[in-house]
């Protein structure tokens, strides 16, 4: 009891008198996270990035393997809770981020003209993977022939999927939720350049000629075009509200952009960088393309049907028989009994819908073990792999759907009780890499014929992994 009283007395001495959470922020957080919460050497602290983070626990205990120290020795639990709640509210002033801030953040970190002309390893450079490890904000470059990590680099805070490669697969571009775009050499693991394009970014795309990177932003809403070589900003294109996502449409030599707050789809030719605006019936949160990039297949998260939009005419040509897709690029396309079909999980239910892309009729609804995020396939693999990671009871299970019978034929539990999701195949389709999305997680590698586990690589909450060849050749079994 005496020790407890002494501890409370010392704590009271260490902490300045409580004048409110804004004051605590100024005293304890602003040096690293910026006076306006837009980030400095620490990440931006805005509700957009913090929904999934136990902010009070992080303030109390810090974050292992980062500069973030714990404050439980200086702040009482009540003050920590109040500070965490305050950080999770929108700031009074809307943060501004324009060309001068973008230009000031631009940083060239290595001379690209001195990079080696050949890879310093003998494995297939097109069978490399970039793995995003969200647990401690790192990326790993993985040799997909030998399943051996080649390089591991610290990344910006909260990278969120969507790694994009240069058309030759040599370079990878990454975006963090708090607006940093980075360029890395896959052969040497060198961070080449970075720039902060916004306070909150949705994702990026690279033009098919490799000249431009387009960033789609949530805060401030808009598009930023970067020169892909050194990431210098080229142009800002404002949008009405937030961007849902941007994608390159390589056969069309353009970018396609969907907006979150306005029922519009924009196409931006890489030759002019001038948007052509298509008015829609509904906003699109999630979408992907048919293999020719002629049609956009999309849905709003609060919608009642999906939509098929023809990019040439700008018209909706069909409705899809489901209320929503669970994520951007959630589905795949393939040929079934001679017909081109698409398949995607549903937003809320454990169901995969298979829809014919010739007359847009539903061929089958395949029940799965629960709601999930992604369905993935590969040209050389006879099954498509779907996760149930958003379900209460089967978040640890993947199911394999036979692409001939459209039946679930196998279930895999890489790590019972732990969330499993996001599958990506090697270049030849002989191996499937599955994320166990826990802080002490793993990439589990399966033989796609025998379904035997062939490797288990420990990783810190691996989220997405991206095979160079499958991405740059626009495999219909994955997103691009
Ligand atoms: Fe993602 C990519 C948005 C939740 C894992 N996710 C993306 C991209 C966007 C996006 C814009 C980039 C697409 C691209 O460039 O191809 N994600 C969203 C959301 O709006 C949503 C629903 C809510 C949010 O948190 O913002 C969301 N995403 C999740 C998750 O909960 C997932 C499963 C795990 C997590 O984030 O902790 C998750 N997102 C992923 C992955 C990719 C991704 C693995 C890359 C997919 C790919 O194969 O290309």
CATH code for the domain of 438: 2.130.10.10
Rounded Cα distance, 266 and 56, in Å: 40
pLDDT above 60 (res 13) = no
pLDDT above 90 (res 464) = yes
Mean pLDDT for 121-138 is 96
The DSSP code for 217 is E
Ligand 1 center to 285 CA (angstroms): 12
Specify if 82 maps to a domain. yes
Ligand 1 center to 303 CA (angstroms): 19
pLDDT above 50 (res 452) = yes
Specify if 32 maps to a domain. yes
Any atom of ligand 1 within 6 Å of the Cβ of 218:
no
- What's the pTM? 0.89
Among 38-42, 59-63, 178-182, whose mean pLDDT is lowest?
38-42
Rounded Cα distance, 52 and 44, in Å: 14
Q: Which atom of ligand 1 is closest in space to residue 479's alpha carbon?
A: 49
Please check whether residue 246 is in contact with residue 208, taking contact to mean a CB–CB distance below 8 angstroms. no
Question: Which residue minimizes the CA distance to atom 20 of ligand 1?
Answer: 327
In DSSP terms, which residues pair with 297 in a beta bridge?
Answer: 288, 308
Q: Which of 87, 118, 139 marks a domain boundary?
A: 87
Any atom of ligand 1 within 6 Å of the Cβ of 162:
yes
Specify if 313 maps to a domain. no
Half-sphere exposure of 183 (CA within 13 A, CB side): 27
Q: Which atom of ligand 1 is closest in space to residue 466's alpha carbon?
A: 48
Question: Which residue minimizes the CA distance to atom 10 of ligand 1?
Answer: 328
User: Of 164 and 94, which is predicted with more confidence?
Assistant: 164
Q: Which of 70, 87, 104 marks a domain boundary?
A: 87
Specify if 233 maps to a domain. no
Mean pLDDT for 237-253 is 96
Q: Which of 29, 63, 87 marks a domain boundary?
A: 87
pLDDT above 80 (res 43) = no
Mean pLDDT for 166-188 is 97
Instruction: For residue range 335-368, list pLDDT tens digits in order.
Output: 999 999 999 999 889 999 999 999 999 999 999 9
Specify if 175 maps to a domain. no
Mean pLDDT for 309-337 is 94
Ligand 1 center to 239 CA (angstroms): 21
**Torsion angle in degrees (nearest 10) through CA of 459, 460, 465, 467:** -40
Specify if 374 maps to a domain. yes
Per-residue confidence (pLDDT) for residue 16, from 0 to 100: 62
Any atom of ligand 1 within 6 Å of the Cβ of 463:
yes
Instruction: For residue range 101-122, list pLDDT tens digits in order.
Output: 999 999 999 999 999 999 999 9
Q: Which residues contact 290 (CB under 8 A, 6 or more apart)?
A: 297, 333, 340, 342, 357
Any atom of ligand 1 within 6 Å of the Cβ of 202:
yes
Q: In angstroms, how far apart are the furthest CA atoms of the chain?
A: 80
Residue 293's CB is within 10 A of a number of other CB atoms, namely: 20
Ligand 1 center to 202 CA (angstroms): 9
Any atom of ligand 1 within 6 Å of the Cβ of 441:
no
The structural domain count of the chain equals 2
Per-residue confidence (pLDDT) for residue 323, from 0 to 100: 82
Per-residue confidence (pLDDT) for residue 64, from 0 to 100: 66
Per-residue confidence (pLDDT) for residue 17, from 0 to 100: 72
Specify if 7 maps to a domain. no
Q: Which residues contact 106 (CB under 8 A, 6 or more apart)?
A: 193, 194, 195, 231, 232, 233
Rounded Cα distance, 477 and 177, in Å: 26
pLDDT above 70 (res 187) = yes
Specify if 52 maps to a domain. yes
Domain range for 76 is 17-87
Q: How does residue 1 score in pLDDT terms, banded at 50, 70 and 90?
A: very low
* CATH number for the domain that contains residue 30: 1.10.760.10
Record the tokens describing residue 220, joined without a space: 């401030």
Per-residue confidence (pLDDT) for residue 291, from 0 to 100: 94
């Amino acid at each position: 009891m005496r020790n407890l009283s002494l501890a409370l007395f010392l704590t009271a001495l260490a902490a300045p008198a409580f004048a409110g959470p804004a004051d605590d922020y100024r005293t304890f957080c602003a040096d690293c996270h910026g006076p306006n919460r837009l980030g400095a050497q620490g990440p931006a602290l805005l509700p957009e990035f913090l929904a999934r983070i136990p902010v009070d626990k992080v303030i109390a205990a810090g974050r292992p393997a980062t500069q973030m120290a714990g404050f439980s020795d200086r702040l009482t639990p009540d003050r920590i809770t109040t500070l965490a709640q305050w950080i999770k509210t929108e700031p009074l002033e809307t943060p501004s981020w324009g060309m001068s801030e973008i230009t000031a953040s631009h940083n060239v970190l290595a001379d690209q003209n001195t990079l080696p002309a050949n890879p310093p390893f003998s494995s297939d450079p097109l069978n490399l993977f970039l793995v995003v490890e969200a647990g401690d904000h790192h990326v790993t470059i993985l040799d997909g022939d030998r399943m051996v990590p080649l390089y591991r680099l610290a990344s910006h805070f909260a990278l969120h999927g969507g790694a994009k490669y240069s058309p030759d697969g040599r370079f990878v571009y990454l975006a963090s939720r708090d607006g940093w775009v980075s360029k890395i050499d896959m052969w040497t693991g060198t961070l080449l350049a970075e720039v902060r394009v916004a306070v909150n970014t949705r994702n990026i795309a690279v033009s098919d000629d490799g000249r431009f990177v387009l960033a789609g932003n949530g805060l401030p809403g808009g598009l930023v075009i970067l020169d892909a070589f050194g990431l210098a900003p080229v142009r800002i294109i404002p949008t009405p509200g937030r961007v849902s996502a941007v994608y390159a449409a390589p056969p069309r030599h353009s970018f396609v952009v969907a907006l979150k707050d306005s029922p519009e789809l924009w196409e931006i030719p890489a030759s002019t960088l001038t948007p052509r605006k298509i008015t829609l019936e509904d906003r699109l949160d999630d979408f992907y393309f048919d293999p020719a990039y002629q049609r956009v297949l999309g849905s709003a998260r609060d919608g009642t049907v999906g939509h098929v939009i023809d990019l040439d005419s700008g018209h909706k040509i069909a409705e899809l028989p489901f209320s929503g897709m669970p994520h951007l690029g959630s589905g795949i396309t393939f040929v079934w009994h001679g017909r081109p079909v698409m398949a995607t999980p549903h937003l809320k239910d454990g169901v995969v819908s298979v829809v014919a892309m010739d007359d847009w009729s539903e061929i089958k609804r395949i029940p799965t073990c629960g709601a999930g995020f992604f369905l993935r396939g590969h040209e050389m693999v006879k099954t498509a792999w779907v996760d149930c990671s958003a379900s209460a009871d089967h978040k640890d299970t993947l199911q394999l759907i036979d692409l001939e019978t459209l039946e679930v034929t196998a279930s895999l539990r890489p790590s019972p009780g732990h969330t499993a999701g996001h599958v990506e195949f090697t270049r030849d389709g002989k191996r499937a890499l599955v994320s166990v999305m826990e802080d002490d997680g793993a990439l589990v590698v399966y033989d796609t014929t025998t379904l035997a586990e062939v490797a288990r690589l420990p990783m810190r909450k691996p989220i997405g992994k991206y095979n160079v060849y499958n991405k740059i050749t626009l495999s219909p079994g994955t997103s691009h």
